[in-house]
């Protein structure tokens, strides 16, 4: 799947692997989780109110529209969380294994 | 013992406030939500990124560098708490959380430099993935070297509309159109006030040149109709009515939306500051005197979080608020310095009024939003539902309408729906906007993790 965000600068950084919904993807050193996810796919989460997929809005930690979950069930705000090598992130809770139990 | 002064925010206002405090011999605590200083406007890119100041900040490169260098020089003389959220303000103490650790910090004086975020008017379909705030589109580029899409439409009004569009063009991103709700006539009317700061006006005109050279289509006096898209794939196009009444559809995969800025006033509210309706801005703002003193003893407000006047004004307002705090603590401050800052700030106040004339908030759109338009993105509450609680439940006041409709109750806590929501209520109830009131601030000002542990300092002291 192609991404939503387009890298236009700083393209020479070291890359590392993360896992998104069980699938391997590449992130670059210095990426926020939001950028790491949205350069690999088009969105971040399901709206809980049935209006579709969401991909964040304010990108500055104010709107909370970019919450995603780690495989351990921890909630993280993607736009202010640095991407770290080996992170495993869930963006489709409904399809996640039963072991992913979101904590508030 | 020296007085404890806490500065919230490490943007232009916060950094200059801290600098004045250090000059006076104090050691302020500077609390900032970001990992690095600079605020939103002079946000620093992550370590290891290589773009130059000129590339990152354009005409503002020197100002950005000066602010960063000032902060670097302050580091040994302040207690900097990055990645830290102030989630509540109690009398003479703030409650902060960093990661999963919380603590309480007492203060003698508190200078709130909470900054601003985009003021947003909903449009049908703005909940589709790929719609971002204009400020967000800028952060993605500045701090992460990314465009929000491969074909981006910039829509709304305000100086940021043209600035972000020009920054995207210069970075090699594709801007499919700039769609401005304000008109050229409004800009002309604002000219006398905008001439208060000719250099900034000139920079604004230069942005238009960049967009023209790149052949970016610019339409003024538009009315937004729809962000067209699907729940699964997100944004696909933007539809607007042009000034001459013709319909225009621009294909795109991302939209940046915003109508100038809105002060982040939640902390001032929790500190107990009095708010007044500002008729020129059509919004509720905390009351502060010329130097930034609020009505609460020991609490000062500076920068765009107090009143949107831009970064240059924020640097001066931050310093001026710190001088006021220093004086109120009983230390001596340089009155000539303060007088000079007051004079300079009056020019920025005039310029800011000019921007409001040039790029007015399109309040009228709220009345004509189709009922199915989502007003609250957090909980997908529509304009129709909000109108229903006005009609059926008689909820003509913002907090009452929130209780019934949940508009403003979601995870953004009204940051991106409260202004437009109030306009929808006012139009439906046929009352002036002022009569709708404002949403009361609630702690925590942002969601906190449920599993919090006391900071080690607190564990040992309690």
The first and second tokens of residue B180, run together, are: 């401005």
Domain B120-259: what homologous superfamily?
FAD/NAD(P)-binding domain (3.50.50.60)
Tell me whether domains B120-259 and B364-436 share a fold: no
Q: Is the pLDDT of residue B340 over 50?
A: yes
What's the rounded mean pLDDT across residues B114-143? 97
Q: Is the pLDDT of residue B227 over 60?
A: yes
Q: Is the pLDDT of residue B462 over 80?
A: no
For residue B293, give the DSSP letter: B
Give the global pTM: 0.96
pLDDT of the residue at B419? 95
Identify the residue among B43, B140, B150, B164 best suited for mutation to test binding to A, counting A beta carbons within 10 A and taking the highest: B140
Residues 6+ away with beta carbon under 8 Å from B108? B3, B4, B5, B92, B298, B329
pLDDT of the residue at A60? 96
The number of C-beta contacts closer than 8 angstroms across A and B is 153
Task: Tell me the per-residue pLDDT of B281-337, one tens digit each, with 9 for 90 and over.
Answer: 999 999 999 999 999 999 999 999 999 999 999 999 999 999 999 999 999 988 999
pLDDT of the residue at A8? 97
Maximum pairwise Cα distance, chain A: 39
Residues 6+ away with beta carbon under 8 Å from B119? B258, B259, B260, B261, B262, B361, B419
What's the CATH number for A15-95?
A: 3.10.20.740
Please state the domain extents for chain B. 5-117+262-355, 120-259, 364-436
What's the rounded mean pLDDT across residues B367-387? 97
Domain B364-436 has CATH 3.80.10.10: no
CATH fold label, B5-117+262-355: FAD/NAD(P)-binding domain (3.50.50)
pLDDT of the residue at B223? 98
pLDDT in tens, chain A (104 residues): 589 999 999 999 999 999 999 999 999 999 999 999 999 999 999 999 999 999 999 999 999 999 999 998 889 999 999 999 999 999 998 777 666 666 65
What band does B449 get if pLDDT is binned at 50, 70 and 90?
Answer: confident
Instruction: Kindly state the helix (H) or strand (E) to which residue B91 belongs, with its residue range.
Output: none
Mean pLDDT over the full length of chain B:
95
Q: Which residues of A fall within a CB distance of 8 Å from B34?
A: 80
For A74-84, letters b (16+ CB in 10 Å) and e give: eebbbbbbebe
What's the rounded mean pLDDT across residues B149-176? 97
Helix and strand totals (H; E) in chain B: 16, 24
Contacts 24+ apart (CB under 8 A), B183-189: B183/B220, B183/B221, B183/B243, B184/B220, B184/B221, B186/B357, B186/B358, B186/B359, B186/B360, B187/B358, B189/B357, B189/B358
Q: Is the pLDDT of residue B459 over 60?
A: no
pLDDT of the residue at B458? 60
Q: At B111, is the secondary structure helix, strand, or coil?
A: strand
Please state the domain extents for chain A. 15-95
Nearest CA in chain A to B171: A8
Question: Which of A10, A47, A59 faces B140 most closely, judged by CB atoms?
Answer: A59
Higher pLDDT, A103 or B434: B434
Residue that has been written with the tokens 């006033």 in this structure? B265
Measure the CA–CA gap between B206 and A75, rounded to whole angstroms. Answer: 43
pLDDT of the residue at A104? 56
Record: contact A57-B132, CB cut-off 8 A: yes
């Amino acid at each position: 799947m192609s991404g939503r965000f387009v890298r236009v600068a700083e393209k020479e950084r070291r890359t590392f692997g993360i896992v998104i919904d069980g699938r391997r993807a590449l992130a670059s050193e210095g990426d926020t989780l939001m950028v790491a996810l949205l350069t690999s796919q088009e969105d971040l989460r399901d709206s809980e109110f049935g209006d579709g997929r969401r991909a964040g809005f304010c990108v500055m930690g104010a709107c909370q529209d970019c919450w995603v979950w780690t495989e351990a069930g921890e909630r993280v705000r993607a736009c202010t969380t640095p991407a770290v090598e080996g992170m495993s992130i869930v963006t489709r809770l409904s399809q996640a294994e039963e072991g992913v139990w979101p904590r508030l | 013992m020296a007085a404890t002064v806490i500065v919230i925010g490490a943007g232009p206002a916060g950094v200059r406030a801290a600098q004045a405090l250090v000059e006076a011999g104090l050691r302020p605590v500077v609390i900032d939500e970001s990992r690095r200083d600079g605020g939103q406007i002079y946000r620093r890119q992550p370590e290891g990124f290589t773009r130059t100041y000129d590339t990152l900040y354009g005409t503002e490169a020197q100002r950005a560098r000066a602010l960063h260098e000032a902060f670097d020089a302050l580091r040994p003389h302040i207690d900097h708490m990055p990645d830290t959220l102030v989630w509540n303000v109690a009398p003479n103490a703030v409650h902060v959380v960093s990661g999963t650790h919380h603590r309480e910090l007492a203060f003698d004086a508190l200078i709130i430099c909470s900054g601003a975020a985009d003021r947003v008017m909903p449009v049908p379909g703005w909940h589709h993935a790929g719609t971002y705030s204009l400020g967000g589109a800028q952060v993605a580029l500045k701090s992460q070297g990314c465009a929000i899409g491969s074909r981006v439409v910039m829509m709304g009004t305000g100086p940021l509309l043209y600035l972000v569009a020009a920054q995207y063009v210069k970075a090699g991103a594709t801007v499919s159109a700039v769609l401005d709700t304000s008109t050229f006539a409004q800009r002309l009317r604002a000219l006398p006030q905008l001439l208060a700061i000719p250099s900034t006006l000139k920079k604004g005109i230069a942005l238009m040149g960049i967009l023209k050279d790149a052949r970016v289509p610019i339409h003024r006096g538009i009315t937004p109709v729809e962000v067209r898209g699907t729940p699964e794939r997100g944004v696909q196009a933007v539809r607007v009515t042009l000034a001459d009444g013709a319909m225009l559809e621009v294909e795109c995969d991302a939209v940046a939306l915003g109508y100038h800025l809105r002060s982040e006033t939640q902390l001032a509210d929790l500190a107990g500051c009095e708010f007044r309706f500002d008729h020129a801005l059509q919004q509720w703002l905390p009351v502060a005197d010329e130097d930034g003193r609020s009505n609460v003893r020991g609490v000062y407000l500076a920068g765009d979080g107090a009143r949107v006047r831009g970064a240059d004004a924020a640097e001066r307002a931050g310093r001026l608020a710190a001088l006021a705090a220093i004086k109120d603590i009983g230390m001596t401050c340089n009155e000539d310095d303060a007088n000079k800052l007051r004079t300079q700030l009056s020019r920025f106040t005039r310029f800011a009024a000019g921007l409001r004339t040039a790029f007015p908030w399109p309040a009228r759109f709220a009345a004509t939003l189709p009922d199915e338009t989502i007003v609250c993105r957090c909980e997908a509450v529509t304009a129709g539902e909000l109108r229903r609680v006005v009609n059926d439940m008689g909820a003509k006041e913002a907090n009452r309408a929130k209780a019934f409709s949940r508009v403003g109750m979601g995870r953004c806590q009204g940051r991106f729906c409260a202004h437009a929501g109030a306009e929808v209520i006012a139009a439906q109830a046929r009352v002036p906007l002022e009569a709708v009131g404002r949403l009361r601030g609630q702690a925590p000002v942002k969601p906190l993790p449920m599993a919090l542990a006391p900071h080690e300092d607190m564990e040992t002291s309690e």
